[in-house]
Structure 1
């Protein structure tokens, strides 16, 4: 009968060599991941606008915060820009996934929305055309989005949602609400989608807040609770400086656990003129 030779016991040198090799591999992997996270954060911040446009009677502010642990950076965005007819457009959104690919896709969506909005001011049509545009580039990612248009002549906000969390509104006379408007599915999923448009005449001074789910949802913090907290803050601060409102809203992310990146836009408006439009 053949006898198997017992395995050679690993020497201390062998163990140290193996440990050193595994440590080097782990360090290399960690350094690569850290480099990707840093690149995603740089891309994210560089592609967000430095400031939002304003008009007499409309003051604006926005803020962005990366994920607390640096592993979910990339994908949330905000934007604001003038349209050819003199109105202003604002968007906020969230790309599926994170890291460098999501940050790059976010940049494509922002550019696409700007290009489409120059020729289709209606928010629902903007989202519909942007959806088909994103599908044409054959990317596997998708994104949620809210697109808003402010008309300084009619003093009206028109908006459309593509699978995105609702915004929050409040007036200086302490009325408030969650903008649970009808919407459609996220951008980049199915072609030929239509997105309902909601119209709001701004008859009283107040604030309208757009945000991403990183502000209001966490591991043990449901979206409904986050929205309620944002509504409470905005109701109390509707007449304040928009930058202060944006900062206060972003602090809600600390209550949720802040595992995702987060973005906030605040539009503080005066009362619309009677008979405008």
Structure 2
């Protein structure tokens, strides 16, 4: 005996070695798909038309082996091995005029191919309809009032009465598949439900049923080693209760007197067991579906909460305009962008990319954003804020909060910009005749005491813009799997540099979508800050990088 229940069988028990006239085992044979018949009416019509046109008769026979007595034959695919056949040509009536066999063969071969294709289509449709039937969603009926216990008892009662028995019981396996517990019954005292579970080891009838056989005990007193769970009954039938892949337990139907059970009655017991399995599986699916729906609602709430944390009101600055967008790969993600006017009047812009699974990344992103806003309450440089943010993640977490982070402070009066990047974020400085790319490719915040930072001191002249990109934007690829890259993004921005910040952010989104990356595998964030005015309205200033 093989399978998960092999260890429970006593070695001395063997059906072949110990036959008994009061015991019958029904071994279930694997089902085979019935061959799909070739349409007789359509084939007859085709054969008659073929005979009138050629003088040759078409004959179809099941079986893939060729008949040497036939002058010509071609295989016909039946979609299953049992349905394969051959189409042959035989002379029609002697009075009919026949064309040459070589001329009739191509048309007959084309008909054979059409029959093969028709059979494959029918077989595919047959399978597809069954798949669609399995795809019908499980839902609670509006007028469903019966509890599962009532439904199971009704099924047990109807099944037992249908095969003229007095009681029925449903025993289900525990999680360790080591015991069987009575879960539903009919015709037995209610106190039976209080009894402890039966151990599976040694329960020979149950074990035999769990491997797919129907066990018929026509006289339980003569077969004590088969362990009928209710000894006061004279005969019993035990059949498996299982889904297509998982054994759930056994169904016992009891008769008070010794008796025989016909094959039809045994088959009916197996049908009843299938109905019980369907009810149990449906209840499990409804429970899982309800839990999943509740989880989906919580995810939607978290996604709305995260979206509400993004800035929606642009700063009221005469010289600068700001725009940005964040696209999470899932409902909840780790990316965010933020902007604020500091107490000293400077403009602060930030892009964050927290790491982890979607929910974990969302929580980490919320922690990073909250810490950043807390640290902006006092005067600081970009490097100082990023360093303090790293200290918060390093000291205040269990070592599982990491984030890439880009931060820039802009003086709206002079256009001076203080930039600091950590992790995998990047910044693009777009000028009239050139562009600069500042990319950080070090460890994210939270991985050490002093993370590597990319810093720069810049000046934004009228018409120029500074763009912050998260790691997901930098890693975006086209349909060929090639990375789009910061250079292509900068070139796109330069072509539209005269447009406002909102339009520039939109151009980058469309670039990623047109390249074939509309369904992002990673979270993406773009933040654009542009100084109003036209190029050349201000004297060029020196730019320093560190």
Q: Secondary structure at the match of 2:311?
A: coil
1:2 aligns with 2:13: yes
Instruction: Judge conservation of contact 2:422–2:454 (CA < 8 Å) in 1.
Output: no
Q: Secondary structure at the match of 2:351?
A: strand
Q: Deviations over 1:147-191 (max 9, x none)?
A: 0011234322111111032122222x34223223x5753122212
- 2-side partners of 1:106 and 1:51: how far apart? 20
Which segments of 5 or more consecutive residues in structure 2 lack a partner in the other structure?
A: 1-11, 15-203, 210-238, 242-272
Q: Which residue of 2 aligns with 1:199?
A: 457
Asked which structure has the greater CA Rg, the reply is 2
TM-score by length of 2: 0.45
Q: Which residue of 2 aligns with 1:52?
A: 314
Q: Which residue of 1 aligns with 2:135?
A: none
Alignment of 1:206-245 (within 5 A): 206-218=464-476, 224-245=483-504
Q: Which residue of 2 aligns with 1:129?
A: 388
Q: Secondary structure at the match of 1:85?
A: coil
Offset of residue 268 of structure 1: 1.0
Q: Secondary structure at the match of 1:185?
A: coil
Alignment of 1:147-166 (within 5 A): 147-166=407-426
1:260 aligns with 2:522: yes
- Pick 1 or 2: higher relative contact order, CA cutoff 8 A, min separation 6: 1
TM-score by length of 1: 0.85
Distance 1:199 1:60, change over 3 A: same
Which segments of 5 or more consecutive residues in structure 1 lack a partner in the other structure?
A: none
- 1-side partners of 2:483 and 2:420: how far apart? 20
1:86 aligns with 2:317: no
Q: Which residue of 2 aligns with 1:141?
A: 401
RMSD over aligned Cα atoms: 2.8
Q: Which residue of 2 aligns with 1:64?
A: 326
Q: Which residue of 2 aligns with 1:119?
A: 378
Q: Secondary structure at the match of 1:250?
A: helix
Offset of residue 58 of structure 1: 1.2
